[in-house]
Amino acid sequence: MSFNQANYVWMSGKLVPWSEANVHVSAHSLHLGSGIFEALRCYETESGPAIFRLDAHLERLWQSASVYEMAIPFTKGQLEDAICETISSNGLSDCYIRILCYYGSGSLGVFPRQCPVEVTILAWTLGTYIGSDALKRGAAVTISSWVKFHSQMMPTTAKASGQYLNSLLALREALDRGCDEALLLDLHGNIAEGSGENLFIVRDGILKTNDDRSSILMGITRDAVIRIAGDLGYEVEVGELSLEELLASDEAFFTGTAAEVTPIREVDGKSLGRSVPGPITAQLQEFYFAAISGKDSRYKDWLRFLDRSQAGYSHSHRV
């Protein structure tokens, strides 16, 4: 996750040089993890750079803020403009974007009553989270000994900074085992999600994924894949996922902003399916990348072009 091409950061209303984008060591969120964030991508298309599902990401940011009763000191429109400004100022057209809302310096009591809410936006070039080669060869996964926290412990549908310590522990364990990624089970022993991705399995031509009852973050890429799969005529079942179902699946894959659509080739050394990526995963990859790159006009509403005049672009449907 190199920052080589990142020159400016948007900080609470203004762009500052990357090297000067600092916070005070007494910032509440630094000590207690009391921040919320969103991760987005901007893709180069034939009609210019476009941010994928910006509206959905901003809506989820506000939902996370509501859960933690954090008052974001900007409107969605202001942050939309700020994101575009940050991308443009860094001269980027294909990049990863991180919005962070955090409590600054004021006090270090557990409740940040006296701490101002600060907002930062970063943009930089980024490949696929698990590795670009994993898109073709698939990811090696292990079942983590760490359990995904239940929604009565923390709000699993909120994207909050401190909650990712759970993911950090699981991923560190996976890397120590020589794997690419971890899968966390929920409190009931069913599959929850990866350290930063949702999970789909394919069995007998039917896709299956879980929902918030399994302590997952309701992924925006997950939602996009469900829509694309439906448009392709596939049945998508939503319900609990057992480890046995995963191991008996014909195909399995991760979805996420950073991971995009990444196939899984093995779980704790056991190979999945006959090929990687499997045929349905490969088709979903193809149509997902067509959607994010502006090559399928059915999904043009998912793209927010930096140049608004490109919003009415015309491309034929992929078949």
**CA–CA gap between residue 125 and residue 155 (Å, rounded):** 30
**Which residue in 282, 313, 302 sits closest to 137, CA to CA?**
282
Catalytic residue among 14, 76, 136, 159: 159
The DSSP 8-state label assigned to residue 160 in this structure reads B
Q: Tell me whether the omega of the peptide bond preceding residue 277 falls within 30 degrees of 0, making it cis.
A: yes
**CA–CA gap between residue 207 and residue 215 (Å, rounded):** 19
**Which residue in 209, 206, 204 sits closest to 192, CA to CA?**
209
**Which residue in 110, 79, 56, 35 sits closest to 302, CA to CA?**
56
Helices (H), the chain: 28-32, 54-67, 76-89, 134-137, 165-176, 220-231, 243-247, 279-292
C-beta of residue 117 within 8 angstroms of C-beta of residue 13 = no
The DSSP 8-state label assigned to residue 87 in this structure reads H
**CA–CA gap between residue 37 and residue 65 (Å, rounded):** 9
C-beta of residue 212 within 8 angstroms of C-beta of residue 149 = no
Axis crossing angle, helix 279-292 with helix 220-231, rounded to the nearest 10: 110
For 283, the token pair is 């088709």
159 annotated active-site: yes
The DSSP 8-state label assigned to residue 186 in this structure reads -
Active site residues: 159
